[in-house]
Amino acid sequence: MIRERGITIMKKRSVILACVLAAAVISGSIYTPEIRTVIKKEVSASQEKADTEKQETPSDDSEAQEAAASAETSDQSVLDQANIMHAQYNYDEAIKLLKSQSDFDSNKDYMDLAAKCQIAKSSLVEYPLEQITHVFFHTLIYDTSKAFDGDAKSGNYNQVMTTVSEFNKIIQIMYDKGYVLVSPHDMAHVNEDGTMSRGSIMVPEGKIPFVLSQDDVSYYHYMDGDGCASKLVLDENGQVKNEYIEDDGSVSVGDYDLVPLLDDFIREHPDFSYHGRKGILAMTGYNGVLGYRTDIAYKTGENLQDDQKKFLADNPDFDYDQDVAEATKVADAMKAEGWEFASHTWGHMNATERSAEDLQTDDQKWKSYVAPILGDTDMVIFAFGADIGDWEGYSSDNPKFQYYKSAGYNYFCNVDSSQYFVQITDQYFRQGRRNLDGYRMYYNPDMLGDLFDVSEVWDSSRPTPVPSM
């Protein structure tokens, strides 16, 4: 039994129009009521003309109506896209799209929006890359009564996870403060010879770029029944949503974790995203990805852990190839919407403690069983925040760095409680991440003051004291 739940799923057209209107309000877009009135009058006039022609030449009328409708839809689609680009500070692409239209020179709406983009572009300022913070979450808790039920896992959930309520409040506050999502790929670029160059992030005065990531979006077996989503899926409109398993075994589809929650927020607030950026998912592979059991062990039956054996026993009709196919569809849809993927190592390995040989063997598993689904990546987000070098940076004689660089990785992220930790060299990009979880909010609320006031977001259902590390 599948039923819709959570945030109401909007139809595609409504979503687009909502984004357009949001862009207009936020950025002073020229897509004003006056212009909408003009468009409405033009549409009405066209319809009146079509009605007249219908009485005279019925067969020709049908073709004329279809052509007029097609032209109107095409024009509006272009304006919708360009307005979203405008809202997301992607002025060059908006202008490029508008000027690529064959009727640009005769379309006042196109010309006005292109001029608006040009004016907005001239007021942008370059943001200091070393002052860009990176925040991260684990899987969000939807039902706190199940996560914090006092069993052996409750303490860990309390430490490292964030509730849906807390996440929604955090994102709203950060948006209100002017924060804007960017990617490490905006902060540094890879040159053809494999070296790195600094990027340039241009935003309006007062906007604050930041990076967001989420770890372990695999919906591990151990989380079953603990108040978290069970997987990511595509709904009937092609939007990425979560499945959530109810107490009676039925499945609900809605916004139960970070990805669909952030997607919906950006649909309503397109200016929260720089050039369409979303977040980065740091992915392991040993339990599969995105809630799908895609590791090869589920197919071969070899080297299975107890929870994997139980899963296969409970699901005798499990189809490995189908899970791989479904996971790939979801991943492709996410990438098309601005999401990125990073390696979190296949086996959630502590890179500080393990040898270069161990990391190489692990990475080969990631490339064999995860990359075909999620796509190749040049980012490593270290499990446990356990880095392969000290704060001074990576040296050329570091065998772990040598391997990762040779394997195509250029971007590296650890865990650092500092507000900013950014290193950009000609060989790599490196950034520290800040955990926005129960532990940090309870023990170090002052360290998060630049982002939000903990007292304004704290979920009262969270048990205290939060267990210490």
pTM for the structure as a whole: 0.84
pLDDT band at 70 (very low <50, low <70, confident <90, very high): low
Would the pLDDT of 456 be above 50?
yes
- Domain-embedded: residue 143: yes
Give the highest mean pLDDT range of 40-44, 56-60, 370-374.
370-374
- Are 193 and 310 part of one and the same domain? yes
Q: Is residue 30 a contact partner of residue 113, using CB atoms and an 8 Å limit?
A: yes
Strand partners, 412: 380, 430
Q: Which of 71, 89, 123 is the last residue of a domain?
A: 123
- % of the chain residues with pLDDT over 70: 84
- For 219-252, the pLDDT digits (tens) are 999 999 999 999 999 999 999 999 999 999 999 9
- Are 289 and 217 part of one and the same domain? yes
Would the pLDDT of 8 be above 60?
no
- Are 189 and 217 part of one and the same domain? yes
Would the pLDDT of 30 be above 50?
no
- For 399-431, the pLDDT digits (tens) are 999 999 999 999 999 999 899 999 999 999 999
Which pLDDT score is estimated for 66? 55
Q: Which domain holds residue 95?
A: 2-123
Query: Is residue 203 classed exposed, middle or buried when 0-12, 13-18 and 19+ CB atoms within 10 A define those classes?
Result: middle
- Domain-embedded: residue 463: no
In terms of pLDDT, which residue wins out, 8 or 284? 284
Would the pLDDT of 26 be above 80?
no
- Are 109 and 201 part of one and the same domain? no
- Domain-embedded: residue 464: no
Q: Which of 123, 139, 170 is the last residue of a domain?
A: 123
- Are 110 and 252 part of one and the same domain? no
Domain count, the chain: 2
pLDDT band at 29 (very low <50, low <70, confident <90, very high): very low
- Are 69 and 35 part of one and the same domain? yes
> How many whole angstroms separate alpha carbon 61 and alpha carbon 53?
6
Which pLDDT score is estimated for 277? 98
Strand partners, 189: 197
Whole-number average pLDDT of the chain: 88
- Domain-embedded: residue 466: no
Nearest to 337 by CA among 285, 260, 251, 397: 260
Residue 101 is which amino acid? Q
pLDDT band at 61 (very low <50, low <70, confident <90, very high): low
- Are 133 and 106 part of one and the same domain? no
> How many whole angstroms separate alpha carbon 455 and alpha carbon 106?
55
Nearest to 220 by CA among 158, 315, 313, 138: 138
Which pLDDT score is estimated for 396? 87
| CATH for 408 | 3.20.20.370
Nearest to 333 by CA among 286, 278, 272, 408: 278
> How many whole angstroms separate alpha carbon 295 and alpha carbon 214?
20
Sheet with 251-254, side-by-side order of all strands: 2-4, 251-254, 240-245, 231-234
Give, to the nearest 10 degrees, the angle between helix 108-122 and helix 58-87. Answer: 10
Q: Which of 101, 123, 145 is the last residue of a domain?
A: 123
Q: Phi/psi of residue 355, each to 5°?
A: -75, 165
Terminal alpha carbon distance of the chain: 41
* Mean pLDDT of the region 195-212: 98
- For 88-99, the pLDDT digits (tens) are 999 999 999 999
- For 430-441, the pLDDT digits (tens) are 999 999 999 999
